[in-house]
Every structure is written in structure tokens, then in C-alpha cells.
Amino acid sequence: MTFPGTRPIHGDAVHLSIDTVPLVFTGAITCQGILEGGRGYVELTLPDADPNHRRALERCTSYSWDLYRDGALLYSSPTLTPSGIMRRTGDGALVVKGSPR
């Protein structure tokens, strides 16, 4: 699949591959394409349940994911290069921003 578009896609599970390490997140998950300065990025919003997952995301050089809802695949990302990670105020969710390689 390609750029997810600017309309949010909501799922309940994501299988994330960080470099070569697989991680699984469950809960309220959203991915959305954003445009900044003429470039396309993808933001993935994850529940922040494990500090080790956040640290792994902060150190990674590439990542990709498959987003699911009720077991059905909604979106499969290309390999992305991380360009930012932040904790959202209020619910503490992680927002990971990346661009295609």
C-alpha cells in the first residue's frame, strides 16, 4: 500500500518492525498522512504501555508496520525513516513521524 492519505485510519492492533525487531501494540491506534513543506510524512499514534518500546523507537533507523482492526489488515506501510517521536499531552500516546526512504 502507499501513502495513507490525510484521513485518519483507526485500528486496534499494529505489528511494528523496528529495524529487525518485531513489536505488537494493541489499543487505540491511528495512522495518518501529513504534508509539511511539500513532503509527505506518516504519523502513527500508539498507546504508550511500555517504556522499552518507546526507547526502541527513539533509537531505530527504519521501521514499518501493519495496522489491523478486528483482525483485518487496514494498512501496510512501506519502510520508513523516523523523523520524530513525541508523547502527546493528555493521554500520553506516542506519536511517531516518518517518511519513505
CA distance 55 to 51: 6
In a domain, 3, yes or no: no
CA distance 41 to 5: 10
In a domain, 33, yes or no: yes
pLDDT at 53: 83
Closest CA to 95 of 48, 33, 53: 48
- Structural domain including 51 reads 9-100
Question: For the chain, what is the largest distance between any 2 Cα atoms, rounded to a whole number of angstroms?
Answer: 35
Q: Would the pTM count as exceeding 0.75?
A: yes
Looking at residue 51, which CATH number applies to its domain? 2.30.110.10
What total of structural domains would you count in the chain? 1
- pLDDT tens sequence across 14-64: 999 998 789 999 999 999 999 888 888 999 999 876 788 888 888 899 999
